[in-house]
């Protein structure tokens, strides 16, 4: 265990993933996140597909939070082909949790994993949904003003929220995405107006990007997010 400017850093390694057994894998992830929370540290979880968000959010049970989602896709499917805990379901499962008090979905665009009924359900369950074009029209400060202030945030970042021109290494690239500084400014503002208590970053697929650009972007975003949490808390 080490410390960075008053922030506790604890690396517990990989969760034990049992291939073809999602429920056991998710249970192991939840156990790991609970252990990090018990130590007083901020969980920073790397995926993996977006379904890992489901056990991460469960681990915060009893602690009210607002989810800020950076993503190309809404991921609000209820059940598809019998699957309730896949990478198209995490925000639906999160919205069902009593301790999740709201979701702000940023960057949603193009053909999505979620059909019209999912969008309607998301809005009915309290989602605020903004596309990249809407955010650029509003500006970063006006976008941040739509997110509740002075609360605990859980930040979930799907790498396909970025434009594939800078993040091609993902399974579902979607053109018209965020650029680096847009997301960095959103995260900086978020850490100033509330408390980020958990992070996951998902859907990086290095085999789809032999240049390594996507993995470097993911690392830069995480390092800068951790740094801004430390700086703005201080």
Q: Where are the domains of the chain?
A: 43-233
Looking at the predicted structure, is the pLDDT value of residue 81 above 60?
yes
Residue 4 has pLDDT above 60, yes or no: no
Residue 90, pLDDT score = 96
Pairing label, strands 7-9, 2-4: antiparallel
> Would you call the peptide bond into 48 cis, given omega within 30 degrees of 0 as the criterion?
yes
Block residue for tokens 């190309």 = 72
Q: Which CATH architecture has domain 43-233?
A: 3-Layer(aba) Sandwich (3.40)
What confidence tier does 2 reach under pLDDT thresholds 50, 70, 90? very low
pTM above 0.85, yes or no: yes
What Cα–Cα distance (Å) separates residue 217 from each residue in 71, 99, 119, 126, 175? 15, 31, 29, 31, 17
pLDDT of 112 > 80? The answer is no
CB atoms closer than 10 angstroms to residue 65: 22
Assign 6 a pLDDT band (cuts: 50, 70, 90).
Answer: low
Residue 127 pLDDT: 96
* C-alpha dist (Å) from residue 25 to 9, 52, 69, 202: 24, 9, 22, 16
Confidence of residue 191 (pLDDT cuts 50, 70, 90): very high
Give which of 100, 110, 92, 106 is closest to 135, Cα–Cα: 106
Contact 118, 105 (CB under 8 A): no
User: Is the pLDDT reported for residue 1 higher than 50?
Assistant: no
């Amino acid at each position: 265990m080490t410390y960075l400017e008053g922030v506790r850093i604890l690396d517990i390694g990989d969760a034990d993933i049992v291939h073809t057994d999602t429920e056991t894998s998710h249970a192991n992830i939840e156990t790991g996140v609970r252990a990090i929370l018990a130590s007083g540290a901020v969980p920073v979880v790397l995926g993996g597909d977006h379904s890992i968000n489901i056990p991460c959010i469960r681990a915060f049970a009893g602690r009210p939070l607002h989810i800020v989602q950076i993503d190309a896709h809404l991921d609000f499917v209820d059940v598809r082909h019998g699957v309730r805990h896949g990478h198209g379901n995490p925000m639906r499962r999160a919205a069902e949790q009593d301790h999740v008090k709201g979701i702000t979905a940023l960057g949603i665009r193009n053909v999505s994993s979620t059909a019209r009924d999912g969008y309607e359900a998301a809005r009915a369950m309290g989602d605020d949904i903004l596309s990249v074009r809407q955010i650029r029209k509003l500006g970063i400060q006006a976008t941040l003003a739509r997110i509740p202030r002075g609360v605990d945030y859980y930040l979930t970042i799907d790498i396909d929220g970025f434009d594939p021109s800078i993040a091609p290494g993902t399974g579902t690239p979607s053109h018209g995405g965020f650029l680096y500084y847009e997301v960095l400014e959103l995260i900086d503002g978020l850490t100033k107006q509330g408390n980020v208590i958990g992070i996951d970053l998902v859907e990086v697929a290095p085999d789809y990007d032999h240049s390594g650009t996507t993995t470097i972007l993911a690392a830069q975003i995480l390092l800068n997010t951790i740094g801004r949490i430390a700086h703005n808390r201080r």
